[in-house]
Chains A and B, each alone.
Chain A
Amino acid sequence: MTTDVAIECRGLVKHFGRHRAVDGLDMVVRLGQVFGFLGPNGAGKSTTIRLLLDLIRPDAGSASIFGRAVRTDRRTVLSRVGAMVERPDLYEHLSGRRNLEILARLSGPCGPRRIDEVLEMVGLTDRQRDRVSSYSHGMRQRLGLAQAMLPSPDLLILDEPANGLDPSGLIDVRNLLRRIASEQGVTVFLSSHLLSEVELVCSHVALISRGRCVVQGAVSDLLSTRDSTADIEVSDADLAARVAGELPFVTSAERRDAGLVVRCSDGRLADVNAALVTAGVRVQALVPRKTTLEERYMSAMSEADHADANAR
């Protein structure tokens, strides 16, 4: 079966008692994407990941990976998946290398050379013979990543992979994920609280709230809006605000300190600049504002909250 879909969830529902952890989740992740899975605590991210890995069973709906149902084709599906779910819990009484040797036996054909490779990738070669109980949290996180990459998976599912990593560790992991995605064509699905990290690493994201997907798409699409916003420093702010406010494509022009903040239709900032200059306003600086994933996330969550409140 050939498909360009790596992960597909359709109407996925999971209850824990009376709490609906996942509530009709629909989501599609395509091959080769580095997909960020975002949401506040308790939004259902980890539950969704557990459903994808067949650790828990859905009450309704379906999850499939590479076109195969996770519930019925578990073995085939998991043989192509590497995963790290929540904390990187490993066998504390064994060395890092021994942990990988044990997991390698269960993951199909991966020999000592592959273990060396993944240890090298996560920078644990020097400490591979030490017991995991002596590892710092960051080192455990790296070993958790190593065990996920061990079977050379086609899909890497990572739950908060950056947790506990120091700044250099964050950069290493970011580069690693980019590299395996671009060079080896591995699809990466990662949940994270670090929006800036997701923005830097991911090509696509889904935002979930209360078990439902609120927004999904390419990061570039989510960050490009129909409006452009810019901070403009001018010689006469009052005049500039008046002139800008009269332009038909300007949505708002607010005075701020020695300048103003202008919001206009996308791509019309140059026209604003021209109008100001024509009106005799000297423009000292025009700095377009970039919408961050954090802003997009906050607005999506706010919209979801309003929608829920209205529904109630």
Chain B
Amino acid sequence: MLTLTRAELTKLFQRRGTYVSYGVMLALVLSIAIPIFCYRESVDRSIREESAHASGVPAGLEQALAGPFIPRLMMFLPLRVMVVNTLIGFFAALVGGGMLAGEYGSGTLRLLLTRPPARWQVVVSKTVVASFQAATVPVFFGLCAFAAGYAFFGRGPLLFLDAGSDMGSDAMMAPYFAEGVAVQRLCLAYGLMALGAAAIAAMGIFISSLTSHALTAAGLTFGVTLVSGVLGALGHAPEELTFLAFFRTIHPYLITTHINVYDAPLFTNVEWARMGTSVAWLLGYSVLFIIGAILVFSRRDIRC
């Protein structure tokens, strides 16, 4: 099993395409950090004005703005919705979807399956490797954000401007953390992102076991993630809208509901119970996808 996993790791990480996801993450971080660094005075002024207009300057804001500035980078975490739900989801779908279907399409699956390891071992090792690679993308994103934050702005306290709201008036109510706590919270957030990406990759493996084309599998996986996200958004609708009651009912069971739990550590009061529940759901989903993929793949005729 370990040998099989090592072989899968070698195959995946010796493919140049695998590094595209990391390149995109690095480019994204730099494209945020560099403009903020160049226009930091105007950004500071804008935040102060917004905050004075809304609810007054929160305690610590001045220190956060004046001090070394991871916050200036992290303040743009509203982009994280795009990053996590779209980019990281896309890359996870791509790696998961391509794992079995990609090898089916290229014919190399025959090489694997005419060797002694059982099919379930092939599925499990591929899931482990795809989930690992998918999980490293948000981790890499986080590391780049930290590195860029330190490089451009130095060290300091952190203001989560987007926790619970965007960069508008309510944003100034956002929590403000000392550096040590902030780093811990961010590590937790990125860890949860990684778990979500791994669950999407596991879903990709399951869908990959049903098809013969890598792009079809990746597209379907990404499509399911997007649809789940849309259904989840509808589930957030006010209770007065009774015709949306169905979406509120299914909301707790959607995979994206639990993937989005990564923002929980960014609030002042962390909802540990919600986080625990979502982690359990994500692990449960992953296990179900692996079992499903094993059941389908073990019975499949390999005609490639």
Binding site for B on A (CB under 8 A): 16, 50, 53-57, 74-75, 78-79, 81, 83, 85-87, 89-94, 98, 101-103, 105-108, 147
Q: Quick check: is B10 within 8 A (CB to CB) of the other chain? A: yes
Q: Quick check: is B236 within 8 A (CB to CB) of the other chain? A: no
Q: Is the pair B116, A79 in contact by a Cβ cutoff of 8 Å? A: yes
Shortest CB distance A69–B (Å)? 15
Contact of B106 among A16, A74, A83, A89 (CB under 8 A): A89
Q: Which residue of B lies closest to A78 (CB)?
A: B116
Q: Is the pair A89, B111 in contact by a Cβ cutoff of 8 Å? A: yes
Q: Quick check: is B31 within 8 A (CB to CB) of the other chain? A: no
Other 12 A-B pairs with CB < 8 A, given A92-B106, A107-B115: A55-B113, A55-B302, A75-B118, A83-B114, A89-B108, A89-B110, A91-B11, A93-B15, A93-B16, A98-B14, A105-B4, A106-B3
The distance in angstroms between the C-alpha atoms of A94 and B8, with both chains bound, is 13
Q: Quick check: is B79 within 8 A (CB to CB) of the other chain? A: no
Q: Quick check: is B6 within 8 A (CB to CB) of the other chain? A: yes
**B-side contacts of A147, CB under 8 Å:** 111
Q: Is the pair B10, A107 in contact by a Cβ cutoff of 8 Å? A: no
Q: Is the pair A94, B116 in contact by a Cβ cutoff of 8 Å? A: no
Shortest CB distance B168–A (Å)? 47
Q: Would you call the interface of chain A mostly helix, strand, loop, or mixed?
A: loop
The distance in angstroms between the C-alpha atoms of A93 and B115, with both chains bound, is 21
Q: Is the pair A91, B4 in contact by a Cβ cutoff of 8 Å? A: no
**B-side contacts of A90, CB under 8 Å:** 108, 111
Q: Is the pair A102, B106 in contact by a Cβ cutoff of 8 Å? A: no
CB-defined A-B contacts under 8 Å, sample of 27:
A53-B113, A55-B114, A55-B301, A55-B303, A56-B303, A57-B301, A74-B116, A74-B118, A78-B115, A79-B116, A86-B107, A86-B110, A89-B106, A89-B107, A90-B111, A92-B106, A93-B15, A103-B111, A103-B115, A105-B6, A106-B3, A106-B4, A106-B7, A106-B115, A106-B117, A107-B115, A147-B111
Contact of A102 among B11, B110, B302 (CB under 8 A): B11
The distance in angstroms between the C-alpha atoms of A90 and B106, with both chains bound, is 8
| Shortest beta-carbon contacts, A-B, top 3 | A89-B107, A56-B301, A106-B115
**B-side contacts of A94, CB under 8 Å:** 11, 14
Contact of B116 among A91, A101, A108 (CB under 8 A): A108
Contact of B303 among A50, A54, A81, A102 (CB under 8 A): A50
**A-side contacts of B116, CB under 8 Å:** 74-75, 78-79, 106-108
Q: Which residue of A lies closest to B113 (CB)?
A: A55
**B-side contacts of A91, CB under 8 Å:** 11, 108
The distance in angstroms between the C-alpha atoms of A101 and B111, with both chains bound, is 13
**A-side contacts of B3, CB under 8 Å:** 105-106
Q: Quick check: is B288 within 8 A (CB to CB) of the other chain? A: no
Q: Quick check: is B27 within 8 A (CB to CB) of the other chain? A: no
Q: Which residue of B lies closest to A103 (CB)?
A: B111
The distance in angstroms between the C-alpha atoms of A79 and B116, with both chains bound, is 5
The distance in angstroms between the C-alpha atoms of A106 and B4, with both chains bound, is 6
| Interface footprint category on B | 20 to 34
Shortest CB distance A146–B (Å)? 12
Q: Is the pair B114, A98 in contact by a Cβ cutoff of 8 Å? A: no
Contact of B14 among A89, A93, A103 (CB under 8 A): A93
Shortest CB distance A198–B (Å)? 22
Q: Quick check: is B250 within 8 A (CB to CB) of the other chain? A: no
**B-side contacts of A16, CB under 8 Å:** 303
Contact of B10 among A50, A54, A79, A98 (CB under 8 A): A98
The distance in angstroms between the C-alpha atoms of A57 and B119, with both chains bound, is 13
The distance in angstroms between the C-alpha atoms of A74 and B14, with both chains bound, is 30
Q: Quick check: is B237 within 8 A (CB to CB) of the other chain? A: no
**A-side contacts of B117, CB under 8 Å:** 75, 106
The distance in angstroms between the C-alpha atoms of A16 and B301, with both chains bound, is 10
The distance in angstroms between the C-alpha atoms of A161 and B112, with both chains bound, is 19
Q: Is the pair B114, A53 in contact by a Cβ cutoff of 8 Å? A: yes
Given A75-B118, A83-B114, A93-B15, A102 contacting B301 (CB threshold 8 A): no
The distance in angstroms between the C-alpha atoms of A147 and B112, with both chains bound, is 11
Contact of A85 among B11, B114, B118 (CB under 8 A): B114
The distance in angstroms between the C-alpha atoms of A81 and B114, with both chains bound, is 8
**A-side contacts of B118, CB under 8 Å:** 74-75
**A-side contacts of B113, CB under 8 Å:** 53-55
Q: Which residue of B lies closest to A49 (CB)?
A: B114
Q: Which residue of A lies closest to B108 (CB)?
A: A89
Q: Which residue of A lies closest to B110 (CB)?
A: A85
The distance in angstroms between the C-alpha atoms of A93 and B14, with both chains bound, is 7
The distance in angstroms between the C-alpha atoms of A74 and B119, with both chains bound, is 10
Q: Is the pair A87, B107 in contact by a Cβ cutoff of 8 Å? A: yes
Q: Which residue of B lies closest to A75 (CB)?
A: B116
Shortest CB distance A275–B (Å)? 59
Q: Which residue of A lies closest to B298 (CB)?
A: A57
Q: Is the pair B112, A106 in contact by a Cβ cutoff of 8 Å? A: yes
The distance in angstroms between the C-alpha atoms of A147 and B7, with both chains bound, is 15
Chain B 225-237, CB-CB to A under 8 Å as 1, else 0, gives 0000000000000
The distance in angstroms between the C-alpha atoms of A147 and B116, with both chains bound, is 14
Q: Which residue of B lies closest to A93 (CB)?
A: B15
**A-side contacts of B303, CB under 8 Å:** 16, 50, 55-56
The distance in angstroms between the C-alpha atoms of A98 and B106, with both chains bound, is 17
Shortest CB distance A78–B (Å)? 5
